Amino acid sequence: MIDNCYIDGISICNRFGVWVTKGGYNGLLAFPAMKEPESNDWPEEDGIEVDLSDPKLKPKEAAVSFLSDTNDRATDLVAYLSGPGYHCVRIPSLGREWQLRLSVHPANKVYPLATAFSLKFVEDNPVRPALEGLPAPGLWMPESRYQLDGTPLATYGVVVDESRNALLKAPTVKMNRTILQGDLPSPSNPPKGCKFHTRCKYCTEICTQVVPAWEEVRPNHFVACHHKLEVKE
């Protein structure tokens, strides 16, 4: 057995006869997805305007694979993790820990000498790992022509494969452009009332003061506009 995982400060190897399989914690190392930021797609402008002033992370699910010397001891670990509150999972070899809750426990696979099982955890409040200087790559990396904020990707132990050709594709052209007048509202500090009133030709006093409510104008079609009956489709 390998003493390679601690939960709430407890060695799961010594307490439950359980250890993480080789590479079984890879899901914990995946960076969580980003929440979709606020954005505006102005028809008369190229691309979109995205508010990146305060990017947020989505909760992350991660599966961890374990082995146990007996099925009963594996069940004991699952029972412990099913208790209230979050559990601090620490992998000493990585120098990392996570605050996780148990989400799913599929059926155990029982073999003559061991029991294999995986547990799916959820990290509801993922924390960005702090970058304390640049990590030294584990392997020699070739010189890279690509940089991230001025730093060669090889410094991070990363290379770019031939899929870089996707970066060279020309963007598609927006169709049916309508040139709007007025000032662009800021996604990070939208104006009072309807956030589009600074560019809307139907704007009246109520639009500058009151946020319009969503209303279903026909099945599965919703509109938030004080003058929806005046706007032609």
The CATH number of the domain holding residue 79 is: 2.40.30.200
Do residue 87 and residue 188 come from a single domain? no
Do residue 115 and residue 201 come from a single domain? no
Looking at residue 183, its pLDDT comes to 76
Tokens of 82: 């099913």
Mean pLDDT of 61-81: 93
- 218 vs 124, higher pLDDT: 124
Nearest-angstrom CA–CA distance, 195 and 226 = 12
Do residue 12 and residue 114 come from a single domain? yes
Residue that terminates a domain, selected from 106, 123, 140 = 123
Do residue 115 and residue 206 come from a single domain? no
Contact 141, 134 (CB under 8 A): no
Question: What percent of the chain shows pLDDT beyond 70?
Answer: 86
Model pTM greater than 0.85? no
CA distances from 195 to 188, 190, 205, 208, 224 (A): 11, 6, 13, 8, 11
Is residue 139 assigned to a domain?
A: no
Angle at 208 between CA 207 and CA 209, to 5 degrees: 95
Segment 130-166, tens digit of pLDDT: 665 555 555 566 676 778 888 887 777 777 766 667 7
Do residue 83 and residue 183 come from a single domain? no
pLDDT at 59 over 90: yes
Segment 205-216, tens digit of pLDDT: 999 999 999 988
Is residue 108 assigned to a domain?
A: yes
Q: Based on the structure, what is the number of domains in the chain?
A: 2
- 140 vs 197, higher pLDDT: 197
Do residue 36 and residue 103 come from a single domain? yes
- Tell me the residue range of the domain where 31 lies: 6-123
Is residue 102 assigned to a domain?
A: yes
Do residue 31 and residue 113 come from a single domain? yes
Is residue 31 assigned to a domain?
A: yes
